[in-house]
Amino acid sequence: MQDQQPIATSAHVPSALRPLMGALCDVAAQLSHLIQRGPLGGKLGAEVGTNTGGDGQKALDIMADEAFAERLRDASVRWYASEEREDVIELDQNGAYTLAIDPLDGSSNIDVNVSIGTIFSIFDAKDDAESSVMRPATEQLAGGYIIYGPQTMLMVTFGQGTQAYLLDPDSNDWLLVDAAVKVPATAREFAINASNYRHWPQPVRAYIDDCLAGEDGPRERNFNMRWVASLVAETHRILSRGGVFLYPGDQRPGYENGRLRLVYECAPIAFLMEQAGGQATDGHDRIMDHTATTLHQRTPFVFGSPEKVGRVAAYHDLPQGEVSALFGSRGLFRA
């Protein structure tokens, strides 16, 4: 285990970003405590409306968003871009940074005691909101997530590897537990919502069919499927033990580009993954090469161990006729 440095003084955190990271961690610690109280803290999972993307909002979504926005006014954040807000808002005219955030990821799991989290991305601030947020993912200064689970942890990168901090429940300090997180190169797990199988594009169905065929199939090994419906939980598992996550676009109206947002979900997770030795794509192209054109832009998303992400891309790169021929001889319900 690494020297357990508090994040406020950690040599692994750029000094200019320590106040901002401290503010994020302050709110996260408060949310962690609230989440641990469950129904004693109120009806956190109550439906309160929908956000701009049409997704249902829970009470805790709004509480988290408001708490981060309020605390970050004193952390040199000029522009605040949230999943829960239609537009970017200005917090501090003199702030040096832009923060894009999903304040409470996986909120459908609030009432069932499954790990949920916060995802964030940090950029330098430009003179206007649009150019501060709609920019190449490679311009991120930091990206990460906080997971509220059996342990509350922060996973973050500043472009020099991926770090892990643990919220100590005794001291309430965020302590460094791993300064160089690495995605395991091999694993026999994939994560996808198989209930949407009939809607997937053929390359994705062919890839999953090959996994499901097990030892008798072309992969010649058995695989396990995982699906938590919480992006931070999926990411944390893959950072811990490898595998691959897939959320493809599909044939349903509104799902052509999947449901995950580029700016405040996929870009920071892609940054973390690459800095931990993994890969992240939209199925074939690198996410970090993408530039958002709208705040709530969606993208298909595949990430995890490099060999597995690369294999998914290879299925997408096959000529359509070749994929169709492969798919014609296999299927989820056929040998």
Say if residue 189 carries a ligand binding annotation: no
**Cα(139)–Cα(36) distance, rounded to whole angstroms?**
35
Say if residue 193 carries a ligand binding annotation: yes
Token pair for residue 306?
A: 């490099």
Residue among 89, 117, 110, 118 nearest 41 (CA): 110
Token pair for residue 182?
A: 């690495």
Say if residue 106 carries a ligand binding annotation: yes
Say if residue 265 carries a ligand binding annotation: yes
Say if residue 92 carries a ligand binding annotation: no
> Are the C-beta atoms of 145 and 258 separated by less than 8 Å?
no
Residue among 318, 316, 287 nearest 303 (CA): 287
Residue among 70, 68, 127, 113 nearest 264 (CA): 68
Say if residue 83 carries a ligand binding annotation: yes
Strands of the 301-304 sheet, one edge to the other: 224-226, 189-191, 244-247, 301-304, 279-281
> Are the C-beta atoms of 290 and 267 separated by less than 8 Å?
yes
- Detail the residues annotated as belonging to a binding site: 83, 102, 104-108, 193, 265
- Detail the residues annotated as belonging to a binding site for Mg(2+): 83, 102, 104-105, 265
- Detail the residues annotated as belonging to a binding site for substrate: 105-108, 193
